[in-house]
Structures are given as structure tokens and as C-alpha cells.
């Protein structure tokens, strides 16, 4: 199967490379913000829509003005790509897939995208436009020999770490078929409960660091704006946020990969996570769990490796239904963790029973070709 796959690595720029990247980030950010303002003003003042081609022409004229000559000091490719990203942002907004495009902050995460004309990749080293030396990349894994690098994205996160993401045209083969099938019930006290009876503990990466993060944020709030002490305190907060995100991402990838490797069919509930997060008492825990990201990973990995991922209706009464005889209880409060079926006498663990019902419903929906997408935002 032909796919596009991104390989992300950390790298350590030299002082000269760091200076070039800082200017490149700044120019790309300026172009994005300047054209966002131009497009917004054109609509507000004249009810006129401005597209990518108009912004590209405006950028060309802008570079010829003496006060903006510094835009020519960096590679033109990342600056031009910023306009394409702005166009994509507007397309997503008008398609109601995202909110209105926002201005990029100078003190936030930064990125610059290079297409094939702005980098050189010889299979071992990567050199970007305007740079004399290749990037000092920490190769945590090797790129496939047949992979063709089409786009390189360089980024710096809020904690000051540099990453390079290499988008490749790749080919993946389906994994050998297995007979195992599994249903998954997602939760908060346990991240995932499987129809096999296994309960995967929730990592709670944010909750475990919440007290430390609050302490660092209180210290940050007391620092004078613009001072070096405030900058250092802000960096400590950013580093802790990065640690939490890295730990969560690692957990999700390991679990999703394991489930894909071990099972031919995976059934999950279709979740409306954005609506669930409106619950003020649970929103922080739901965000910490990252169910949407987990389901997204299962979805693309199943597609890559020849597995079947089945989503069932979110309103299916998986917790209230007996997985042995099919009896459905009229009510099932959240505090009831174990119950006995009045029809057949089976004693059920609430979550394991739900996972078994999810699997049964998923297999039935697949047979009728009525499965829905497991991710519903």
C-alpha cells in the first residue's frame, strides 16, 4: 500500500544554523500574520474574498519594498509555504472543520516547511537551503531505503527543542492475518478495558504532574514581565508540558501498535469527545486521556496494516446489556461497577461486560456493513 509517512527526529543546530532558523521562522510567521490581516480586512471593509494567488502576488510586491528587504535573506520556500498553510486554514474554516485562523505568536512553537527544491537529502545527511552544513540529527531509527523524502518540516517547540519531520512516499505491507478479535471500552480510571478481561491502566500523565505544574505556574506569575527570571520560569513550565505530552504520546503509540499487531478485528465505540468535554467535572481527565488521538492512531494503523477497525453507535447500551443473554437493564448508574443479570444470573464487571458487548455489536455491524467511524469530533 502506497502511503505518506512522516519520520520525526530531534536535531541540534549549530549557532549559525540556529540564527538562520530563527530568521526563517520569523519571516514565515510574518508572512502568515500579514496576509491573514490583509484577508480579514478585505472582507470586513470591502466584503471581498482574497485567495492564495492574491496573497502570493502581495508578498512579491512586499519583498521589493525597502523596509521589508529582510524577507529576502532567508529561503523563499518556507515563506511561500506559510501562505499555502494560511489558504488551507481558510478552507478548513469555510468547511466548518476548524475555527477562524489565528495569528501566530512569536513566543509560541515555530515551524518552517521546505519542499524538494529547498533541501538536499542523500540518504544519510540533510542540508537545508541557506545552510552550509547538514543538520546534526539524532537518528532514533532509520528511514526505509525505498522511501522518497518529499517535504521537510523544521520546528522548535516552546521548550526550545528542535525537531525535523521528513514526509516520505513509502510502501507498507499488510501484517500476517491473525484470528484474534477484541472489543475496547474506553474509560478514565482505566484507559482501556478489553473484551478479553484485560484492563489497561490510565497513564494520567497530566494528573501526576498537575501539582508540580501549578507550582511552576505560580512562580511564573510572580515574575516581572520581560525579565530573564520570567523567561527562565516560562521555560521550566514549557519543559514540563513537553514531558507530559511526550509521555502521553509514547503510551498511546505503544498501546495502539500492540492492539493492531495482536488483533485482526478491533471494535470501539464512536465517541463525541468534544461534547463529553463540556462536563466541567470530567473535562480535564478526558483531555488527559486523549481518546481522540488514540482512535486516530488505531484508524490509520488499521488501514496501513490490513486490520479491520469497527466503530459502533455511541448510543448503544453496552454497559446495561448482559453479554451472555442479551437482557438490557433499564438503568445503570455510574457508581455501579458490578451487577448481576436478573435473567441468567451472570455476574458482570461493568467495563469488561461493556467491552464484550462492543465487540459483539461491532461484528454484527460489520456483517451488515453498518459500521461507523470510531472518531466523531
Q: With pLDDT > 70 as the criterion, what percentage of the chain qualifies?
A: 97
Mind telling me the catalytic residues? Answer: 185, 269, 351
229 part of a folded domain: no
The range of the structural domain enclosing residue 291 comes to: 181-203+250-376
CB-based contacts of 344: which residues, under 8 Å, 6+ apart? 322, 324, 325, 327
pLDDT digits (tens, 9 = 90+) for 220-263: 999 999 999 999 999 999 999 999 999 999 999 999 999 999 99
> Do residue 31 and residue 155 come from a single domain?
yes
User: Mean pLDDT, to the nearest integer, of 208-216?
Assistant: 95
Q: Is the pLDDT reported for residue 18 higher than 70?
A: yes
Q: What is the CATH number of the domain that holds 304?
A: 3.30.420
145 part of a folded domain: yes
CB-based contacts of 274: which residues, under 8 Å, 6+ apart? 377
> Do residue 345 and residue 307 come from a single domain?
yes
Neighbours of 58 (CB within 10 A): 17
User: Using alpha carbons only, what angle is made at residue 179 by residues 353 and 323, rounded to the nearest 5 degrees?
Assistant: 15
> Do residue 194 and residue 317 come from a single domain?
yes
DSSP state of 277: T
At residue 328, φ and ψ (nearest 5 deg) are: -115, 120
pTM (predicted TM-score): 0.85
For the chain, the domain total comes to 2
232 part of a folded domain: no
At residue 15, φ and ψ (nearest 5 deg) are: -55, -40
Contact 371, 268 (CB under 8 A): no
| 185 vs 359: CA distance, rounded Å | 9
Helix (H), strand (E) at residue 164? strand 162-171
> Do residue 120 and residue 186 come from a single domain?
no
- The pLDDT, as a whole number, for residue 314 is 81
| 153 vs 21: CA distance, rounded Å | 12
Amino acid at each position: 500500500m502506497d502511503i505518506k509517512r512522516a519520520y520525526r527526529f530531534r536535531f541540534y543546530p549549530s549557532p549559525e544554523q540556529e540564527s538562520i532558523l530563527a530568521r526563517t521562522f520569523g519571516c514565515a510567521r510574518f508572512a502568515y500574520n500579514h496576509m491573514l490581516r490583509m484577508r480579514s480586512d478585505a472582507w470586513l471593509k470591502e466584503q471581498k474574498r482574497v485567495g492564495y494567488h492574491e496573497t502570493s502576488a502581495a508578498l512579491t510586491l512586499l519583498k521589493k519594498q525597502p523596509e521589508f528587504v529582510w524577507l529576502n535573506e532567508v529561503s523563499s520556500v518556507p515563506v511561500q509555504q506559510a501562505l499555502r498553510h494560511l489558504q488551507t486554514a481558510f478552507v478548513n474554516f469555510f468547511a466548518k472543520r476548524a475555527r477562524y485562523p489565528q495569528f501566530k505568536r512569536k513566543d509560541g512553537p515555530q515551524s518552517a516547511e521546505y519542499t524538494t527544491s529547498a533541501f538536499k537529502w542523500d540518504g544519510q545527511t540533510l542540508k537545508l537551503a541557506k545552510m552550509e552544513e547538514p543538520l546534526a540529527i539524532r537518528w532514533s531509527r532509520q528511514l526505509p531505503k525505498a522511501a522518497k523524502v518529499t517535504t521537510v518540516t523544521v520546528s522548535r517547540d516552546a521548550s526550545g527543542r528542535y525537531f525535523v519531520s521528513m514526509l516520505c512516499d513509502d510502501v507498507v505491507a499488510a501484517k500476517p492475518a491473525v484470528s484474534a478479535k477484541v472489543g475496547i471500552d474506553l474509560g478514565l480510571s482505566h484507559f482501556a478495558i478489553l473484551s478479553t478481561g484485560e484492563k489497561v491502566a490510565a497513564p494520567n500523565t497530566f494528573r501526576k504532574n498537575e501539582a508540580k505544574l501549578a507550582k511552576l505556574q505560580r512562580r511564573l506569575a510572580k515574575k516581572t514581565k520581560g525579565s530573564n527570571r520570567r523567561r527562565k520560569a516560562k521555560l521550566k513550565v514549557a519543559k514540563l508540558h513537553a514531558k507530559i505530552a511526550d509521555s502521553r504520546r509514547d503510551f498511546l503509540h505503544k498501546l495502539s501498535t500492540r492492539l493492531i499487531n495482536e488483533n485482526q478485528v478491533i471494535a470501539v465505540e464512536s465517541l463525541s469527545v468534544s461534547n463529553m468535554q463540556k462536563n466541567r467535572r470530567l473535562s480535564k481527565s478526558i483531555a488527559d486521556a486523549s481518546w481522540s488521538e488514540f482512535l486516530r492512531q488505531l484508524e490509520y494503523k488499521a488501514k496501513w496494516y490490513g486490520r479491520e477497525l469497527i466503530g459502533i453507535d455511541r448510543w448503544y447500551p453496552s454497559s446495561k446489556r448482559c453479554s451472555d443473554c442479551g437482557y438490557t437493564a433499564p438503568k445503570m448508574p455510574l457508581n455501579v461497577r458490578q451487577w448481576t443479570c436478573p435473567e441468567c444470573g451472570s455476574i458482570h464487571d461493568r467495563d469488561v461486560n461493556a467491552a464484550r458487548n462492543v465487540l459483539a455489536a461491532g461484528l454484527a455491524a460489520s456483517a451488515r456493513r453498518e459500521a461507523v467511524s470510531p472518531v466523531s469530533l
